[in-house]
Structure 1
Amino acid sequence: MKAIEVSELAAQFSLEVLAGVDQLDRKIMKARAYRPGLEFVGYFEFFPQEHIQILGKKEITYLHSLSENERNHHIGNIVKYHPPCFVVTAGQEGLKYLTKYCDQEGIPLLRTNVATAQFLGMLDAYLLKTLAPEISIHGICLNVSGIGILLRGKSGIGKSETAHTLIRRGSRLVADDIVVLKKLSSRTLLGTHNEKTKEFLALRSIGLINVVRLYGRQAFQDETRIVLDIELTKWRDNELNNDLELEPKFTEYMGVQIPHIEIQLQPGRDVAGLIEAAANNWYLKQQGYSALEEFMKRLEVE
């Protein structure tokens, strides 16, 4: 299972360390933060102790309203579960009692000036992507007309040349050669690069090019949601399907099914144009439009 250290979290969000400075190597393994509520009144039946604990204005105001003995009792009950860290939001002060207990138990206590709701949104998004299960596959990842596409095929089939044509037409490169796929949910797959190949595209007979230097910042983006898996294959006579609507096929990555399209290559075929058409057609289908249904309705009218 993937994990990050509390020190990485502190650096990512410029968090102030109030306690547990020698415990910043503690591991964070859960992708959602938690705001304790019922735990302050002693109910710990479903307490997610492995999650980051967020203390916003509501929680801190409640603790301030208690007597010293009550406050010590409630804080003592929570820290004994040793969550990875506490984060106090909205720059709240008067936290000596929290600092004392966190130092005693070796739990990092961090603080941000960002409002609670805003910080929770940023934190959960960061953790979800950072801790997501991932695999690396061979291929090219592109964003075509706002649609994330995984372009695959055997070495030398023409993936890079096709990608280059698409980039010149306005598409964006995400990753070449090694594509990192992250599973954000049972239906969401994110494609990104491995940092080393960022912005680079390898073209046979030309060599390595930097698409940002050649075509500008708009030629690249860091990540995209993958919604189409397109495979380039060699031409096979009498095997090119010409049905009005093809039976849907899927490729599965880490349990996430992605619509799959095979495009056979032959001199003269506008492969880049076909990929653009596939992307735009997928988008129309998501909006509820079917070209086949419209065509059949026209036939009925006649």
Structure 2
Amino acid sequence: MVKVTANDLIEEFKLEILAGEEGIYRLISTSDISRPGIEIAGYFNFYPAKRLQLLGRTELTFLQHLQSHEKEERMQKLCTYDTPGIVITRGMDAPQELLDAAEKVGVPILRSQIPTTRLSSSITTYLESQLAPTTAVHGVLVDIYGIGVLITGNSGVGKSETALDLVRRGHRLVADDSVEIRQDTEGTLIGRSPELIQHLLEIRGLGIINVMTLFGAGAVRPFKRIVLCVNLELWDQKKAYDRLGLEEEKMKIIDSEITKLTVPVRPGRNLAVIIEVAAMNFRLKRLGFDAAQEFSQRLSTVIEEGDHDDLQ
């Protein structure tokens, strides 16, 4: 699991450290950000201390109108051992009471020149990306006509060879062997390659090849949203495979479900073409054109007409 600290925010957003430097490695556990205006007004009953706190012009201007002892009391309550950090926006000066309270418990006080709303949005987006649930799947991820297709199957079934054939047909490789998957939101899965094996394909008997070097920068991409899984398995004579495409199987990754197709592998089958067509057909279904449903309706119409002729 990726861990985010105040120090990561300092590096990402070029923040200035005003106090509490010893606490810059405190973990940030949530992407939610709090603007503690009501707390500065004195109400701490439901203070979300574990969130990153953001102080803008509104909060700091209100703080100036408080009595000295009120400032000290509320800044001490604002800075807890659970608070991962407090960020001051617009380059404003931090109250001395806040700096003193932060030094006592080691809460990092950071400052940015960026306006409050824009900084809040940027930090939230960054934290959601970094703290999103992640997993790794053994397989190959390819961008086929804009559709992110995850190819899975047992070792040696031909996933990498199929991916190589797809790249030769003009599609783009994202990851081979291991696909790192991040769930940005429920239903949205983003796949990428581990940095160590980025752009590489392992072909048995040939070894490791660099797809970008061989086929150019247009043959790879750094990440892709996954919407379809094609599982390759050796042909089983006893198994009944779907021949119409009316049944839609689902595969669950983290908390999201994607469509899964099972394609049997045997000599003579061009897997690259089959997967390419599967992606094109999936795209058509999303646009409202379902060949299997259309055939089923035609068949029902023919049967109904036949029954009607028999009655006559």
Structure with bigger gyration radius: 2
Match runs of 1:188-207 below 5 Å: 188-207=188-207
Asked if 1:23 is matched to 2:23, the reply is yes
DSSP-derived class of the 2:34 partner: coil
Q: Tell me by how many angstroms 1:65 deviates.
A: 4.7
Describe the shift of the 1:34–1:278 C-alpha distance in structure 2 as closer, same or farther (beyond 3 A).
Answer: farther
The separation in 2 between residues aligned to 1:185 and 1:207, in whole angstroms, is: 37
Q: Which stretches in structure 1 are left out of the alignment for 5+ residues? A: none
Deviations 1:70-106 (A, max 9, x none): 4334323211464111122333335444323222221
Q: Tell me by how many angstroms 1:124 deviates.
A: 2.2
Describe the shift of the 1:43–1:149 C-alpha distance in structure 2 as closer, same or farther (beyond 3 A).
Answer: farther
Deviations 1:196-252 (A, max 9, x none): 112211122322122222233333333222221211122345844321x33111122
Q: Which stretches in structure 2 are left out of the alignment for 5+ residues? A: 306-312
Q: Tell me by how many angstroms 1:107 deviates.
A: 0.3
Q: Tell me by how many angstroms 1:69 deviates.
A: 4.2
Equivalent residue number for residue 46 of structure 1: 46
Equivalent residue number for residue 88 of structure 2: 88
Asked if 1:230 is matched to 2:257, the reply is no
DSSP-derived class of the 1:18 partner: strand
TM-score in terms of structure 1 length: 0.85
DSSP-derived class of the 2:31 partner: coil
CA contact (8 A) 1:2 1:29 kept: no
TM-score in terms of structure 2 length: 0.83
CA contact (8 A) 1:87 1:111 kept: yes
Q: Tell me by how many angstroms 1:293 deviates.
A: 4.9
Aligned length: 301
Asked if 1:167 is matched to 2:167, the reply is yes
DSSP-derived class of the 2:226 partner: strand
Deviations 1:125-147 (A, max 9, x none): 32223223332221112222222
Equivalent residue number for residue 109 of structure 2: 109
Describe the shift of the 1:295–1:241 C-alpha distance in structure 2 as closer, same or farther (beyond 3 A).
Answer: closer
* Worse overlay, 284-293 or 101-110: 284-293
Asked if 1:34 is matched to 2:31, the reply is no
Equivalent residue number for residue 271 of structure 1: 271
CA contact (8 A) 1:82 1:105 kept: no
The separation in 2 between residues aligned to 1:106 and 1:148, in whole angstroms, is: 45
Using the aligned pairs only, state the percent identity.
37
Equivalent residue number for residue 310 of structure 2: none
Asked if 1:122 is matched to 2:104, the reply is no
